Structure 1
Amino acid sequence: MASHRRPKQPSRARVTVLTTAAAAAVAISAQAANAAPSEKPSKDEVKAKVDKLYEEAEQATEKYNGAKEKQGKLQKGISTIQDNVARGQEELNELRDGLGSMASAQYRSGGIDPSLQLFLSADPDDYLDKASTLDQLSGQQVEALEDIQDKQRELAQQRAEATEKLKDLASTREELGKKKEEVQGKLAEAQKLLNSLTAAEKAAIAAEEERASRDAGERVDLGESVPASGRAAAAFAAAQSKLGSPYVYGASGPSSFDCSGLTSWAYAQAGVGIPRTSEAQANYGTRIYSQSDLQVGDLVFFFNDLHHVGLYAGNGQIIHAPRTGTVVRYESMGTIGGPFMFGVRV
């Protein structure tokens, strides 16, 4: 007869654990269902974040420009030193050849004792003339040796200087690469935010930028301000000729610009070489701290770290290359996004 056993019942403790876990799972599901979905940032919020990223990108751009300018100067300096070393080596070789010729001439005269040479000479007077020449050659040899030593020291110093500059160049190139990556990272992050917008929102932002540039180009009132000087007038006229040119980080003309690229290019057209970066330009001329004292063509600087610069246009307006996504345009000093620090009269 078959045996019928009663199924083993789960323990009371196990039932309690399972029940508790199931209840927790139900509660979590309920909370997830009832939780408010994450809200998508509005167009204005995205634009504010993008503008902030563009400002940070411009800060990094000025550091990039500084490293790039330093790289150019180092490369030029190294090239000059290397040319000098090459010429110095040629001079050293010539000195050595000259010394070798003197030594060969002495050797060919024979290493005989001078008194014996005089005794054996068929023409004592002729020998005495030659002996005098040999003494003179010996003096020239001493001078040649001193020249060779001086040239060797000079070449060693130049080679050491070139070595140090090459090390500096390597670190500058590394810094340049990092700043470039930082700028590109900021711009990529900004683009990602813009891509999160709808087509209509993107079009609205683009329309706002286009309207701002158009209004700045067509409706700006520059008042009756006069240029600070003839070169300032020429620089301002050059900048005006580039209204509508796109902002591109690291660009200094003639078809695209960043902020300090525009100002340095404009003054170059006036025959004045000013530094490439905004920070360096801030130390180039005479500072003007009162906005009311500014004149057309003065450089104007914004933000505490001076990472933005433009040219004063009159009536509280500047002409500048604002940021990525914009063009060279007029803009009120009160809408730059950072405080006016001072002007510089070149």
Structure 2
Amino acid sequence: MASHRRPARPGIVRAGKAAVLSAAAVAVAASAAVPAGAAPRATPADVRSRVGALYEQAERATEDYDAAQEQESRLRGRLDAVQDELARGQAAVNRMSDALAVVSGAQYRDGGVDPSLALLVSSDPAGYLDRASDLARAEGLQAGRLDRLRDAQRALAQQRAEAGGEIAQLDQVRRRLAARKQAVRDRLERARRLLATLTVAQRDAIGYGAAADGRTAPAGRVPDLPDLPASSDRAAEALAAARSALGLPYLWGGTGPGAFDCSGLMYWSYRHAGVTLPRTSQEQLGAGTHVPLDQARPGDLVVYRDNASHVAMYVGGGEVIHAPYPGARVRYDPVNMMPINAIVRP
């Protein structure tokens, strides 16, 4: 039976096959451009997000490191005091032991005869009784010395135990310091590798390039700050100190004068004003009166994030001075550059 189906048009068939082959070639070429199993290249926005998270983690670890450093310093001071006291106690015990040994030796040489027999053979009983009384007093003195020696030895043992406890605690803090240091280094290295995947222009565009450090003085742009007085003379002095640090590099654990981390800059600036702030941003959160942002004055501390892991100094006009992150320099930035935890007036 004859078929009534219209035969396919050869030209259309050839065109369809060519389109399929062309699409397949594009797919093969695309797969060849990206190695199998390779992760797609991160976009600048992805890098900015991931680097920001790494820097936040590094700052938190840095503040923990700073706190551990402070604890280590206090423990070293306490240990030095305990060891000095231990040395003095040991010297006292040695002197008491030597004195007791001299008295005991003399009494052994002079008092080897039973007192009652000595009285019988004595040609001068009255004189002997006087000497015996002196001997009794000497023995009483020796007994007192012995008691004091025992007390001194007990105190010495307690001091040794205290020194041992301080040493153990110091070792524990030093291990924590090493762990925090490694945590900071790990996160900074990961951030460095991520930023290295971008061009200079891309790093500038996401705020992690050299262009961001143009917000320093005297070489770069200085914000147009209003003539707003500081909250106090001390705050004005601290602000002047912070401004003198503009352009200096970030250094985690740094308290100046040549490099700073965020809380180190605040600590150093207020030391110039005769005020000793706590060392870490978490502690600086409680170092004064909290005020609303709309009442902030130059010299106030601006503490960021829920975990208080970053801190800056308000300069007025919606700007702060701070040590931003590793690789950057002390600079001006907008006060709302990250979530604000509190405004603190020392």
Among 277, 299, 317, the residue aligned to 2:301? 299
Q: What corresponds to 2:228 in structure 1?
A: 225
| Structure-1 separation of matches of 2:230 and 2:318 | 14
Q: What corresponds to 1:240 in structure 2?
A: 243
User: 1:127-173 deviations in whole A, cap 9, x for unaligned?
Assistant: 33332322222222222122122212222222112222222222222
Q: What corresponds to 1:315 in structure 2?
A: 317
Distance 1:216 1:41, change over 3 A: farther
User: 1:91-117 deviations in whole A, cap 9, x for unaligned?
Assistant: 111111122222122212222232333
Aligned CA-pair RMSD: 2.7
User: 1:53-87 deviations in whole A, cap 9, x for unaligned?
Assistant: 22221111111111222222222222221121111
Q: Which amino acid aligns with 2:110?
A: S
Note the C-alpha offset of 1:216: 10
Preserved contact between residue 216 and residue 329 of structure 1 (Cα < 8 Å): no
1:344 aligns to 2:321 (yes or no) = no
User: 1:17-40 deviations in whole A, cap 9, x for unaligned?
Assistant: xxxxxxxxxxx9996556595753
| Structure-1 separation of matches of 2:139 and 2:333 | 79
The equivalences for 1:129-208 within 5 A come to 129-198=130-199, 200-202=201-203, 206-208=209-211
| Structure-2 separation of matches of 1:268 and 1:157 | 38
Q: Which amino acid aligns with 1:45?
A: D
> Which TM-score applies when normalising by structure 1?
0.81
Please identify, of 39-48 and 209-218, the stretch whose mean Cα deviation from structure 2 is larger: 209-218
| Structure-1 separation of matches of 2:124 and 2:272 | 78
Preserved contact between residue 238 and residue 299 of structure 2 (Cα < 8 Å): yes
Q: Which amino acid aligns with 1:340?
A: I
Q: Which amino acid aligns with 1:132?
A: S
Preserved contact between residue 312 and residue 319 of structure 1 (Cα < 8 Å): yes
Distance 1:31 1:317, change over 3 A: closer
| Structure-1 separation of matches of 2:94 and 2:302 | 56
The equivalences for 1:64-75 within 5 A come to 64-75=65-76
Note the C-alpha offset of 1:247: 0.5
Q: What corresponds to 1:61 in structure 2?
A: 62
Q: What corresponds to 1:330 in structure 2?
A: 332
Unaligned regions of 5+ residues in structure 1, if any? 1-27
| Structure-2 separation of matches of 1:323 and 1:109 | 81
The equivalences for 1:76-91 within 5 A come to 76-91=77-92
Unaligned regions of 5+ residues in structure 2, if any? 1-23
Preserved contact between residue 217 and residue 246 of structure 2 (Cα < 8 Å): no
The number of residues matched between the two structures is: 316
Preserved contact between residue 200 and residue 209 of structure 2 (Cα < 8 Å): no
Note the C-alpha offset of 1:345: 3.0
> Which TM-score applies when normalising by structure 2?
0.81
Distance 1:41 1:135, change over 3 A: same
| Structure-1 separation of matches of 2:179 and 2:335 | 32
| Structure-2 separation of matches of 1:230 and 1:147 | 57
Q: Which amino acid aligns with 1:234?
A: E
SS of the residue corresponding to residue 342 of structure 1 reads strand
Note the C-alpha offset of 1:271: 2.7
Q: What corresponds to 2:12 in structure 1?
A: none
The equivalences for 1:258-297 within 5 A come to 258-283=261-286, 285-297=287-299
Distance 1:319 1:212, change over 3 A: closer
Preserved contact between residue 321 and residue 330 of structure 2 (Cα < 8 Å): yes
Identity %: 41
Runs of 4+ in structure 1 displaced over 6 angstroms?
28-31
